[in-house]
């Protein structure tokens, strides 16, 4: 890859890290199983614990095995990951919300606050995203300065 990671010392350090993370993953799995065997929790609680442990394991895999800790500066990867997670969360969240928000007889009228909040969310998210994207993608031109931006001054009739 031709980057600072070529030095043998760094590679040895990486290899040690790999073994460590392997151990962490094994430990995480054992902890998950033990917690399940030894304790009983309600479903939401069990889900929270299980998913937190899974997220920690996933974090190590992404950061170390997938090299993201050193690739964080690579905007394209970070941006893609962030975008994907936003849409994944959006897909899951909005589907669950739609399934949950079904009018039922006897259900009290939904307070206006939630309606407004939902609507504002729909404005804020894309605005934030767009600003971030434009900021990320603004790069200086590595080649010479361009000619003055063309503004239409003279009306010249050109026949085709």
Partner 1 sequence: MSDKAEVTQTQEAVEVHHGEHDEHHAQSFWRTYIFSTDHKIIGIQYGFCGLAFLFFGFCLVATMRWSMAYDGQAVPFIGPMLEAMLGSNVAPGGVMSAELYNVFGAMHGTIMVFMGIVPIAFAAFGNYVVPLQIGAVDMAFPRVNMASFWAFFLGCVVMTVSFFIPGGAAQAGWTSYSPLASMIPTDGQTYWLIGMVLLITSSLLGAVNFLVTIINMRAPGMTWLRLPFFVWVQFITAFLLLLAFPPLEAAGILQLMDRVLETSFFLPTGLVVGGQDVDVSGGGSPLLWQHLFWFLAHPEVYVLVLPGMGIVCEVIANNTRKPIWGYKFLVGSVVVLGFLAFIVWAHHMYMTGMGTVISAFFQTTTLIISIPSVIILTCLFISLWGGSIRFNTPMLFALAFLPMFGIGGLTGLPLGFNFSDVALHDSYYVIAHFHYVVAPGTIFAIFAGVYYWFPKMTGRRMSEYWGKVHFWLSLIFMNLIFLPMFAQGMAGMSRRMSDGGATYSLANPDNADITVGALSDTIMNLNVSISAAAWAMLVAQVPFIVNLFWSVKHGEKVESDNPWQATTLEWETPTPPPHGNFAKEIKVYRDPYEYSVPGAKKDFSPQAQPAK
Partner 2 sequence: MEIPYTVKPRPDTGLYNGKLGIWLFLASEVMLFGALFSSYVLLRVGAEDGTWSMGLMNITVGAGNTMVLIASSMFVVLAWAELKQGNLAGYKKWKWATIACAVLFLVVKWSYEWPQKFKHYDVWLNDAKLLHEKFEKGYQETVSHAEGGNHANDHGDAANGDVQKFVETFYTKRFFKETSDASQTAFKQEWANGTLAISGHINAYEEAQINVEVTGWNADAGASEADADRALVELGVSVEEAAEDLRKKGGLIKERIDYDWAKRAEYLLGQAGFKVTLSVAGYEKVEAHPWFWRTPRVNEDIGGNPRVRSIVLGLDHTHHHDEIEIETRHISRLSAYEPKHSTFFGIYYTITGLHAAHVFGGIIVMLYNMLPIGLALWHKDRERFTNRIETFGLFWHFVDLVWIFLFPILYIL
The residue ranges that bind partner 1 (CB under 8 A) are 2-4, 73-74, 76, 83-84, 87, 90-91, 94-95, 97-103, 110, 114-115, 118-119, 121-123, 125-127, 129-130, 133-134, 137-160
CA distances from 18 to 26, 58, 65 (A): 12, 14, 7
Residue 64 near residue 57, CB atoms below 8 Å: no
* Residue 113 per-residue DSSP state: H
Strands (E), 29-126: none
Pick 19 or 113: Cβ nearer partner 2: 19
Work out how close the CB of 49 gets to partner 1 at its nearest, in angstroms, rounded to a whole number.
Answer: 27
Q: Identify the residue whose tokens are 């073994």.
A: 19
78-117 residues near partner 2, rule: CB under 8 A: 80-81, 83-85, 87-88, 91-92, 95-96, 99
Pick 38 or 134: Cβ nearer partner 1: 134
């Amino acid at each position: 890859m031709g980057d600072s990671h070529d030095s043998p010392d760094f590679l040895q350090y990486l290899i040690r890290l790999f073994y460590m993370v392997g151990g962490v993953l094994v430990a995480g799995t054992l902890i998950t199983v033990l917690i399940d065997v030894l304790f009983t929790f309600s479903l939401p609680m069990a889900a929270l614990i299980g998913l937190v442990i899974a997220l920690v394991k996933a974090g190590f895999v992404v950061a170390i095995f997938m090299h993201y800790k050193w690739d964080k500066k690579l905007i394209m990867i970070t941006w893609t990951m962030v975008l994907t997670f936003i849409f994944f969360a959006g897909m899951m969240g909005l589907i669950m919300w739609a399934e949950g928000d079904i009018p039922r007889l006897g259900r009290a009228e939904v307070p206006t606050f939630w309606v407004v909040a939902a609507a504002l969310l729909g404005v804020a998210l894309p605005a934030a995203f767009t600003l971030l994207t434009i900021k990320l993608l603004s790069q200086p031109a590595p080649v010479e300065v361009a000619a003055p931006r063309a503004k239409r001054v003279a009306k010249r009739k050109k026949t085709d």
